[in-house]
Structure 1
Amino acid sequence: MQLFSRWAALWAMALMLGAGLAQAEERPQVADKMMAYFGQGAKVWTLRIGERSDNQALVQLEDVDHDWNMRIQKMSVEQTAKDTRYFTTVDGQKFVVLVLQDGYGELHLPGQAKPLRVGYDSNQSSYGDAQAFLNDYLKTR
């Protein structure tokens, strides 16, 4: 009976280890560097998730008086000849949240009439931790 208990314990440990490795493999790829945009009291953090060709990013808004404050959302990214647009779906419709051109742009929030102007901040971007940001996103989804 004692031998069976040892084998059962080893088997359980092997299953847990295998489950942990499977979860590690499911971790999506992200860019090495986060991008930070600040302006009019708002902060916007972006991080590419997945392959570049997937055109997806994680976006977090900070210090905004809105339901989206501090929520990390996965958004689609569309690059045109003129600008880069981050968008999601709101009430079943495509909603452009962030429009960037040459390091500056506008943050649009559902229910708010006027966009907030933001600009790229290289100093703050250097403080962004891409892996910690991904961890926070994975915890909430």
Structure 2
Amino acid sequence: MSNKKILQGIDTVIIRVSDITVSKKWYGEKLGLIPIWDDQNMKLVVMDTDGPTSITLWQTNSEIINNKDTASYPIFRVIDADESRNELIKRGVNVTEIIEDNVVRYFQIFDPDGNVLEACQVHE
């Protein structure tokens, strides 16, 4: 086993939410993600990101405490950061200003629980 890879990519990223019904609707309507698995007993839903890694929204009864400076978060690829950001704003999504460097243009997105997501355009 020492020569074989133990880990084989990321299957899903779990995002804890306070209300699975509200979050499922928000991620679907605002971000355009489609549910591919819904477990009402576990209060979780897996959302298709149109990539190899899904997002799993999982309800918790614990208080959700977010700090955008220390949180782990998924980063979504976008073709045009300005266009994507403007569309999200039209949909009523809370987003930051675009930040740009020599490699990327990106902005952060906040879901109803204040969870941090990011959208990133790589310069080509």
User: Do they superpose with TM above 0.5?
Assistant: no
With normalisation by structure 2, the TM-score equals 0.26
With normalisation by structure 1, the TM-score equals 0.24
| Structure with greater contact order relative to length (CA < 8 Å, sep ≥ 6) | 2
Structure number with the higher helix fraction is 1
